[in-house]
Amino acid sequence: MKLPYLVLDVFTRTPLQGNGLAVIPKADGLLDGEMQAIAREFNLSETVFICKPQHERNTASLRIFTPYEELPFAGHPTVGAAVVLGLQRKASALRIEEKVGLVTALFDRVDRRTGAARFTLPRLPARIADLPDRLGMAQALGIEVEDIGCAMFRPAVFSAGVTFHLVPVRNAEALRRVSVNRLLWDKVFHHDHNSAYVFTLTPDEADNDIAARMFGMGVGEDPGTGSAAAALLGLLAEQEMANGQFDLTLRQGVEMGRPCQIALQFRKDDDSLTHGAIGGEAVVVAEGVLDLGD
Protein backbone atom coordinates (compact mmCIF):
# COMPACT_ATOMS: atom_id res chain seq x y z
CA MET A 1 0.00 0.00 0.00
CA LYS A 2 1.38 3.39 -1.04
CA LEU A 3 0.05 6.61 0.42
CA PRO A 4 0.99 10.10 -0.81
CA TYR A 5 1.74 12.63 1.89
CA LEU A 6 2.56 16.31 2.27
CA VAL A 7 4.48 18.15 4.96
CA LEU A 8 3.43 21.73 5.67
CA ASP A 9 4.69 24.46 7.93
CA VAL A 10 1.61 26.06 9.45
CA PHE A 11 1.02 29.55 10.89
CA THR A 12 3.75 30.88 8.59
CA ARG A 13 4.47 31.38 4.90
CA THR A 14 8.21 30.84 5.44
CA PRO A 15 9.51 27.26 5.02
CA LEU A 16 11.21 25.78 8.09
CA GLN A 17 9.35 28.10 10.43
CA GLY A 18 5.89 27.68 11.98
CA ASN A 19 4.53 24.35 13.16
CA GLY A 20 5.22 21.26 11.06
CA LEU A 21 2.26 19.13 9.98
CA ALA A 22 2.02 15.87 8.06
CA VAL A 23 -1.03 15.54 5.81
CA ILE A 24 -2.31 12.28 4.32
CA PRO A 25 -4.69 13.56 1.62
CA LYS A 26 -6.20 10.17 0.66
CA ALA A 27 -6.70 8.33 3.94
CA ASP A 28 -9.90 6.41 3.26
CA GLY A 29 -9.58 2.76 4.25
CA LEU A 30 -6.93 3.25 6.91
CA LEU A 31 -7.69 1.67 10.27
CA ASP A 32 -7.42 3.64 13.51
CA GLY A 33 -4.29 1.74 14.52
CA GLU A 34 -2.68 2.41 11.15
CA MET A 35 -3.34 6.14 11.47
CA GLN A 36 -1.83 6.15 14.94
CA ALA A 37 1.24 4.26 13.71
CA ILE A 38 1.71 6.69 10.81
CA ALA A 39 1.47 9.65 13.21
CA ARG A 40 4.15 8.03 15.38
CA GLU A 41 6.31 7.54 12.28
CA PHE A 42 6.15 11.24 11.35
CA ASN A 43 6.60 12.17 15.03
CA LEU A 44 5.31 15.70 14.48
CA SER A 45 2.97 17.33 16.98
CA GLU A 46 0.06 16.26 14.75
CA THR A 47 -0.68 14.33 11.58
CA VAL A 48 -4.00 14.91 9.81
CA PHE A 49 -5.79 12.34 7.65
CA ILE A 50 -8.19 13.63 4.99
CA CYS A 51 -11.08 11.30 4.20
CA LYS A 52 -14.29 11.51 2.18
CA PRO A 53 -17.07 13.33 4.04
CA GLN A 54 -20.02 11.51 5.58
CA HIS A 55 -22.37 14.06 4.03
CA GLU A 56 -21.97 14.83 0.33
CA ARG A 57 -22.50 18.59 0.74
CA ASN A 58 -19.34 18.75 2.89
CA THR A 59 -15.81 18.95 1.50
CA ALA A 60 -13.92 16.38 3.58
CA SER A 61 -13.66 14.61 6.92
CA LEU A 62 -10.55 14.91 9.10
CA ARG A 63 -8.94 12.58 11.63
CA ILE A 64 -6.23 14.21 13.76
CA PHE A 65 -3.54 12.26 15.65
CA THR A 66 -0.61 13.23 17.84
CA PRO A 67 2.12 10.56 18.09
CA TYR A 68 0.21 9.23 21.12
CA GLU A 69 -3.54 9.79 20.69
CA GLU A 70 -6.38 11.01 18.52
CA LEU A 71 -7.75 14.52 19.09
CA PRO A 72 -11.32 15.66 18.41
CA PHE A 73 -10.07 19.05 17.24
CA ALA A 74 -6.82 20.90 16.64
CA GLY A 75 -6.14 24.25 15.04
CA HIS A 76 -2.96 23.85 13.02
CA PRO A 77 -4.13 20.57 11.39
CA THR A 78 -7.41 22.29 10.49
CA VAL A 79 -5.60 25.26 8.92
CA GLY A 80 -3.10 22.97 7.16
CA ALA A 81 -5.77 20.62 5.82
CA ALA A 82 -7.88 23.57 4.65
CA VAL A 83 -4.88 24.96 2.75
CA VAL A 84 -4.22 21.57 1.11
CA LEU A 85 -7.89 21.21 0.14
CA GLY A 86 -8.05 24.78 -1.11
CA LEU A 87 -4.92 24.42 -3.24
CA GLN A 88 -5.94 21.05 -4.66
CA ARG A 89 -9.60 21.85 -5.32
CA LYS A 90 -9.27 25.58 -6.06
CA ALA A 91 -12.07 26.22 -3.59
CA SER A 92 -12.47 29.33 -1.44
CA ALA A 93 -15.02 27.91 1.03
CA LEU A 94 -14.68 24.53 2.72
CA ARG A 95 -16.96 22.50 4.97
CA ILE A 96 -14.83 20.12 7.03
CA GLU A 97 -16.11 17.38 9.32
CA GLU A 98 -14.17 16.86 12.56
CA LYS A 99 -15.04 14.89 15.65
CA VAL A 100 -15.75 18.13 17.51
CA GLY A 101 -18.26 19.19 14.83
CA LEU A 102 -18.52 20.81 11.40
CA VAL A 103 -15.86 23.42 10.63
CA THR A 104 -16.47 26.11 8.02
CA ALA A 105 -13.23 27.52 6.61
CA LEU A 106 -12.42 30.28 4.14
CA PHE A 107 -9.32 29.83 1.96
CA ASP A 108 -7.15 32.35 0.09
CA ARG A 109 -4.42 31.20 -2.30
CA VAL A 110 -1.06 32.95 -2.02
CA ASP A 111 0.88 30.91 -4.60
CA ARG A 112 1.05 27.32 -5.86
CA ARG A 113 2.21 25.96 -2.50
CA THR A 114 1.04 28.60 0.00
CA GLY A 115 -2.35 29.67 1.28
CA ALA A 116 -4.22 31.13 4.22
CA ALA A 117 -7.26 29.72 5.99
CA ARG A 118 -9.55 31.09 8.67
CA PHE A 119 -12.26 29.02 10.31
CA THR A 120 -15.10 29.61 12.71
CA LEU A 121 -14.84 27.53 15.87
CA PRO A 122 -17.25 24.58 15.76
CA ARG A 123 -17.56 24.81 19.54
CA LEU A 124 -17.22 28.05 21.46
CA PRO A 125 -14.76 27.80 24.36
CA ALA A 126 -16.18 27.10 27.80
CA ARG A 127 -14.74 27.61 31.27
CA ILE A 128 -13.86 24.33 32.98
CA ALA A 129 -12.31 25.45 36.28
CA ASP A 130 -10.47 28.16 38.19
CA LEU A 131 -6.70 27.95 38.73
CA PRO A 132 -6.12 29.48 42.18
CA ASP A 133 -2.73 27.90 43.06
CA ARG A 134 -0.44 30.75 41.98
CA LEU A 135 2.53 29.40 43.94
CA GLY A 136 2.17 25.94 42.40
CA MET A 137 1.89 27.38 38.90
CA ALA A 138 4.94 29.58 39.43
CA GLN A 139 6.99 26.64 40.68
CA ALA A 140 5.84 24.38 37.84
CA LEU A 141 6.74 27.10 35.30
CA GLY A 142 10.03 28.08 36.95
CA ILE A 143 9.04 31.73 37.42
CA GLU A 144 8.13 33.98 40.36
CA VAL A 145 4.68 34.15 41.95
CA GLU A 146 4.63 37.86 41.07
CA ASP A 147 4.93 36.91 37.39
CA ILE A 148 1.49 35.22 37.38
CA GLY A 149 -1.26 37.47 35.97
CA CYS A 150 -1.36 40.09 33.24
CA ALA A 151 -3.59 43.20 33.20
CA MET A 152 -7.12 42.00 34.09
CA PHE A 153 -6.45 38.40 33.07
CA ARG A 154 -6.27 35.61 35.65
CA PRO A 155 -5.51 31.87 35.23
CA ALA A 156 -8.32 29.48 34.36
CA VAL A 157 -9.03 26.21 32.54
CA PHE A 158 -10.94 26.46 29.23
CA SER A 159 -11.78 24.12 26.37
CA ALA A 160 -12.99 24.62 22.79
CA GLY A 161 -12.75 20.86 22.22
CA VAL A 162 -9.37 20.27 23.90
CA THR A 163 -8.68 21.33 27.50
CA PHE A 164 -5.91 23.80 28.38
CA HIS A 165 -4.69 25.46 31.56
CA LEU A 166 -4.45 29.14 30.55
CA VAL A 167 -1.84 31.07 32.53
CA PRO A 168 -1.27 34.80 31.96
CA VAL A 169 2.15 36.15 32.92
CA ARG A 170 3.07 39.77 33.38
CA ASN A 171 5.28 40.40 30.34
CA ALA A 172 7.27 38.88 27.48
CA GLU A 173 10.37 38.57 29.65
CA ALA A 174 8.51 36.38 32.15
CA LEU A 175 7.19 34.31 29.24
CA ARG A 176 10.74 33.85 27.91
CA ARG A 177 11.97 32.64 31.32
CA VAL A 178 9.43 29.81 31.64
CA SER A 179 11.22 26.53 32.38
CA VAL A 180 9.17 23.39 32.97
CA ASN A 181 9.47 21.65 36.36
CA ARG A 182 8.41 18.14 35.40
CA LEU A 183 8.28 16.91 39.02
CA LEU A 184 5.41 19.31 39.78
CA TRP A 185 3.81 19.64 36.38
CA ASP A 186 1.06 16.99 36.40
CA LYS A 187 0.06 17.79 39.98
CA VAL A 188 -0.44 21.49 39.22
CA PHE A 189 -1.84 21.16 35.70
CA HIS A 190 -3.99 18.13 36.39
CA HIS A 191 -6.88 18.47 33.93
CA ASP A 192 -7.02 16.54 30.62
CA HIS A 193 -3.69 16.37 28.73
CA ASN A 194 -1.83 18.29 31.50
CA SER A 195 -1.29 21.12 29.00
CA ALA A 196 -0.55 24.74 29.89
CA TYR A 197 -0.87 27.70 27.53
CA VAL A 198 1.16 30.54 29.01
CA PHE A 199 0.47 33.97 27.50
CA THR A 200 1.00 37.70 27.90
CA LEU A 201 0.03 40.95 26.23
CA THR A 202 2.69 42.54 24.01
CA PRO A 203 1.93 46.28 23.76
CA ASP A 204 5.55 47.02 22.82
CA GLU A 205 5.64 44.63 19.84
CA ALA A 206 4.47 46.04 16.50
CA ASP A 207 3.45 42.81 14.76
CA ASN A 208 1.31 41.14 17.41
CA ASP A 209 -0.94 41.73 20.41
CA ILE A 210 -0.35 38.55 22.42
CA ALA A 211 2.57 36.15 22.88
CA ALA A 212 2.15 32.57 24.06
CA ARG A 213 3.96 29.29 24.71
CA MET A 214 2.34 25.85 25.00
CA PHE A 215 3.71 22.97 27.07
CA GLY A 216 2.28 19.46 27.35
CA MET A 217 0.28 16.91 25.32
CA GLY A 218 3.34 14.66 25.18
CA VAL A 219 5.21 16.95 22.75
CA GLY A 220 7.18 19.09 25.21
CA GLU A 221 6.79 22.60 23.82
CA ASP A 222 4.65 23.16 20.74
CA PRO A 223 5.45 26.01 18.34
CA GLY A 224 1.87 26.83 17.28
CA THR A 225 -1.27 25.53 18.97
CA GLY A 226 -4.57 26.53 17.37
CA SER A 227 -6.75 24.58 19.80
CA ALA A 228 -5.10 26.40 22.71
CA ALA A 229 -5.59 29.74 20.96
CA ALA A 230 -9.25 28.78 20.52
CA ALA A 231 -9.55 28.04 24.25
CA LEU A 232 -7.83 31.35 25.00
CA LEU A 233 -10.63 33.20 23.20
CA GLY A 234 -12.93 32.09 26.02
CA LEU A 235 -10.75 33.66 28.69
CA LEU A 236 -10.19 36.84 26.66
CA ALA A 237 -13.91 37.26 26.08
CA GLU A 238 -14.85 36.47 29.67
CA GLN A 239 -12.36 38.90 31.20
CA GLU A 240 -12.59 41.62 28.51
CA MET A 241 -15.17 44.13 29.71
CA ALA A 242 -16.29 45.63 26.38
CA ASN A 243 -18.75 44.24 23.85
CA GLY A 244 -18.02 44.19 20.12
CA GLN A 245 -15.67 42.39 17.72
CA PHE A 246 -11.97 41.96 18.44
CA ASP A 247 -9.27 41.02 15.92
CA LEU A 248 -5.89 40.15 17.40
CA THR A 249 -2.60 38.61 16.31
CA LEU A 250 -0.85 36.09 18.53
CA ARG A 251 2.75 34.96 18.23
CA GLN A 252 3.98 31.59 19.42
CA GLY A 253 7.11 29.49 18.90
CA VAL A 254 9.55 32.42 18.90
CA GLU A 255 11.45 31.02 21.90
CA MET A 256 11.85 27.73 19.97
CA GLY A 257 13.11 29.35 16.78
CA ARG A 258 9.87 28.33 14.99
CA PRO A 259 7.87 31.58 14.93
CA CYS A 260 4.14 31.29 14.30
CA GLN A 261 1.48 33.94 13.79
CA ILE A 262 -2.10 33.05 14.64
CA ALA A 263 -5.03 35.32 13.79
CA LEU A 264 -7.67 35.50 16.54
CA GLN A 265 -11.17 36.88 16.27
CA PHE A 266 -14.02 36.93 18.74
CA ARG A 267 -17.24 38.82 19.29
CA LYS A 268 -19.13 39.64 22.45
CA ASP A 269 -22.78 40.62 22.47
CA ASP A 270 -24.64 41.40 25.71
CA ASP A 271 -21.53 40.30 27.67
CA SER A 272 -21.55 36.82 26.09
CA LEU A 273 -19.16 35.27 23.58
CA THR A 274 -21.11 34.78 20.35
CA HIS A 275 -18.39 34.11 17.77
CA GLY A 276 -14.83 32.83 17.67
CA ALA A 277 -12.43 32.16 14.80
CA ILE A 278 -8.76 31.49 14.27
CA GLY A 279 -6.60 31.35 11.18
CA GLY A 280 -3.19 31.57 9.63
CA GLU A 281 -1.03 30.79 6.65
CA ALA A 282 0.60 27.49 5.64
CA VAL A 283 3.22 26.47 3.09
CA VAL A 284 3.92 23.04 1.58
CA VAL A 285 7.57 22.12 2.20
CA ALA A 286 7.70 18.44 1.21
CA GLU A 287 5.84 15.78 -0.77
CA GLY A 288 6.37 12.05 -0.83
CA VAL A 289 4.92 8.56 -0.67
CA LEU A 290 4.60 6.22 2.28
CA ASP A 291 5.37 2.68 1.11
CA LEU A 292 3.65 0.38 3.60
CA GLY A 293 4.08 -2.85 1.64
CA ASP A 294 1.40 -5.14 0.20
Confidence of residue 239 (pLDDT cuts 50, 70, 90): confident
Known catalytic residue at 46: yes
Pair (88, 177) in one structural domain = no
For residue 16, give Cα distances in angstroms to 7, 60, 203. 11, 27, 27
Residue 14, classed as helix, strand or coil, is: coil
Give me the catalytic one of 34, 41, 46, 238.
46
Residues 9-68 have pLDDT tens digits of: 999 999 999 999 999 999 999 999 999 999 999 999 999 999 999 999 999 999 999 999
DSSP letter (8 states) at residue 169: B
State whether 94 and 138 are in the same domain.
no
Q: How many whole angstroms separate alpha carbon 126 and alpha carbon 118? A: 21
Count Cβ atoms below 10 Å from residue 68 Cβ, excluding itself: 11
pLDDT per residue over 80-112, tens digit each? 999 999 999 999 999 999 999 999 999 999 999
Q: Quote the mean pLDDT of the chain.
A: 96
Do 132 and 65 lie in one domain? The reply is no
Buried b (16+ CB within 10 A) or exposed e, 251-285: bbbbbeebbbbbbbbbbbeeeebeebbbbbbbbbb
Residues 117 and 240 in one domain: no
Domain with 140 in it: 126-276
Q: Is 142 left (phi over 0), alpha (psi -120 to 50) or beta?
A: left
Q: Is 248 exposed, middle or buried (0-12, 13-18, 19+ CB in 10 A)?
A: middle
Same domain, 91 and 134: no
118 and 192 co-located in one domain: no
For residues 253 and 144, membership in a common domain is answered with yes
Looking at the structure, tell me whether residues 145 and 269 fall in a common domain: yes
CATH code of the domain in which 117 resides: 3.10.310.10
Question: Same domain for 85 and 149?
Answer: no
* Claim to verify: residue 134 and residue 244 sit in the same structural domain: yes
Asked if 96 and 200 sit in the same domain, the reply is: no
Q: How many domains does the chain have?
A: 2
Q: Are residues 137 and 84 both part of a single domain?
A: no
